[in-house]
Amino acid sequence: MTYPGHARRCDAITPFIVMEILEKIHQMEARGIDVVHMEIGEPDFCVPQCIDHAVTQAFECNETSYTHSLGDIRLREAICRYHIEKYGTLIDPGQILITSGTSPAMLLLFSALVNPGDEIIISDPHYACYANFINYVQGVPVTVPVHEEEGFVYTPEAIEQKITPNTRAIFINSPSNPTGNIISKERMTQIVEVAKAHHLYVISDEIYHGLVYEGTDHSIFEFTDQAFVLNGFSKLFAMTGLRLGYLIAPKQFIRPLQVLQQNFFICANSVIQLAGVAALEQAHEETLEMKNIYNTRRKYALERVRDLGLGVSVEPTGAFYIFANAKHVSNDSYALALDILENAHVGVTPGIDFGANGEGYIRFSYANSMENLETGFDRLEKYFKNR
């Protein structure tokens, strides 16, 4: 007798290529090979000291019980204060759902928003997992190509062409992964006008907010209240492994989201939620120092990437990525990334991981020490000279 196989929904989920490259790197490192990491988007800093202290204090005070399913009210109120101070926007604590990282927030959001066959507009290239979340809930990701010469930012005209009666929302990500580019206030206003004209929600992934080196990051709630915000503590506060995120949603979605949270996750980690309060209220100086260091690395990495002969038409001014045009080197970015890894011992991410329109590009992460970046780019310089 043959036992049944895995659920068919799994077949709609594509591999996360950067994680597969990271696993190959781990295998190489286990064999004693030194690899410079420029593939993964993970801060190399320790968490700010106030977060260390908050975790210790939470344990000492026995703050280890279930919290409210929407999240500890102290953290939700701290997020509201943060939004007032940073963006001038008023958020009700009852609009916020605290999750164990931003990825669960995204899963809950699409579960509550999307019926089978509903369409979500996303850019191409885009963060690799967006389309998979939409596919998992039987939605349809509809891609809008964005182009290097425009800073990989949507045009309202291109969005209009993809809207159908099945469209539910327009997804934006600024600062962007993989490009590091920012949507301007003027362009964001135009995107919101398109959304309002068609009665669509805007979903804004703001996980890289705070890591902006030129210009300003704008929250979608500065422009419309018919929107969802995804954010978390992994990037700005270097809390990747602590897994803390949140979703801000229109009030009519909160009860369905809460019921999903109760069933699937119960609540986020109680101790880490209190660390989130400390991060928002006490970590400003340390995050500013981290941002200044990232900016120094950004300028250095941009110069070295261009010296390699790779194209960067619009300089990225946010996050910690450079999305470089390598089409003159290879039209197979996955094969190129693997060849770089094997022969230069540098990890990079192939553009194809971020959608068909990312093919021919390579993403470099400068979330690594200057010493390691110098070593990595020296190796890449030799690689491209010998290729």
Task: Please check the confidence at residue 1 and state whether its pLDDT lies above 80.
Answer: no
- What letter would DSSP give residue 333? H
pTM of the model: 0.95
The per-residue pLDDT for range 122-146, each reduced to its tens digit, is 999 999 999 999 999 999 999 999 9
181 plus 234 within the same structural domain:
yes
Rounded to 5°, the CA angle 195-182-219 comes to: 55
Whether 294 is covered by a domain: the verdict is yes
Whether 3 is covered by a domain: the verdict is no
57 plus 21 within the same structural domain:
no
Residue 172 · residue 191 · CB < 8 Å: yes
Helix (H) or strand (E) holding 119: strand 119-124
227 plus 361 within the same structural domain:
no
Amino acid at position 359, single letter? E
Tokens of 184: 């301007």
pLDDT of residue 9: 87
- CA-based Rg of the chain, rounded to a whole angstrom? 21
pLDDT of residue 13: 86
* Residue 208: partners with Cβ closer than 8 Å, 6 or more residues away: 174, 175, 176, 177, 217, 235, 236, 318, 319
266 plus 130 within the same structural domain:
yes
Cα separation of 88 and 86, whole Å? 6
The per-residue pLDDT for range 37-92, each reduced to its tens digit, is 999 999 999 999 999 999 999 999 999 999 999 999 999 999 999 999 999 999 99
| SS3 call for 12 | helix
**CATH number for 39:** 3.90.1150.10
* Closest by CA position to 18, among listed 375, 329, 363, 368: 363
CB-based burial label for 384 (10 Å; 0-12, 13-18, 19+): middle
Whether 259 is covered by a domain: the verdict is yes
Residue 167 · residue 119 · CB < 8 Å: yes
Determine the angle formed by the axes of helices 333-344 and 370-386, rounding to 10 degrees: 110
Strands 227-232 and 245-248 turn out to be antiparallel
Strands 349-350 and 361-365 turn out to be antiparallel
275 plus 337 within the same structural domain:
no
* Closest by CA position to 200, among listed 258, 142, 131, 127: 142
pLDDT of residue 121: 98
Please give the C-alpha separations between residue 50 and each of 88, 274, 279, 339, in angstroms, as whole numbers. 25, 11, 7, 42
Helices marked H in the chain: 17-30, 49-60, 73-87, 102-113, 130-136, 156-162, 185-197, 254-264, 270-282, 284-307, 333-344, 370-386
Mean pLDDT on 277-299:
98
Task: Please check the confidence at residue 8 and state whether its pLDDT lies above 90.
Answer: no
277 plus 381 within the same structural domain:
no
Whether 268 is covered by a domain: the verdict is yes
- What letter would DSSP give residue 2? P
Task: Please check the confidence at residue 255 and state whether its pLDDT lies above 80.
Answer: yes
**CATH number for 142:** 3.40.640.10
Whether 135 is covered by a domain: the verdict is yes
248 plus 107 within the same structural domain:
yes
Task: Please check the confidence at residue 213 and state whether its pLDDT lies above 90.
Answer: yes
The CA-based diameter of the chain, rounded to the nearest angstrom, is 64
The per-residue pLDDT for range 316-359, each reduced to its tens digit, is 999 999 999 999 999 999 999 999 999 999 999 999 999 999 99
Whether 2 is covered by a domain: the verdict is no
Tokens of 170: 């327009």
> Domain range for residue 250?
51-282
Whether 22 is covered by a domain: the verdict is yes
Mean pLDDT on 22-33:
96
Higher pLDDT, 200 or 8: 200
**Domain count for the chain:** 2
Residue 157 · residue 130 · CB < 8 Å: no
Helix (H) or strand (E) holding 246: strand 245-248
127 plus 191 within the same structural domain:
yes
Cα separation of 195 and 51, whole Å? 38
* Residue-averaged pLDDT of the chain: 96
φ/ψ (deg, to 5) at 98? -90, 135
Cα separation of 178 and 346, whole Å? 18
173 plus 206 within the same structural domain:
yes
Mean pLDDT on 139-155:
96
370 plus 298 within the same structural domain:
yes
Query: Where among 224, 247, 282 does a domain terminate?
Result: 282
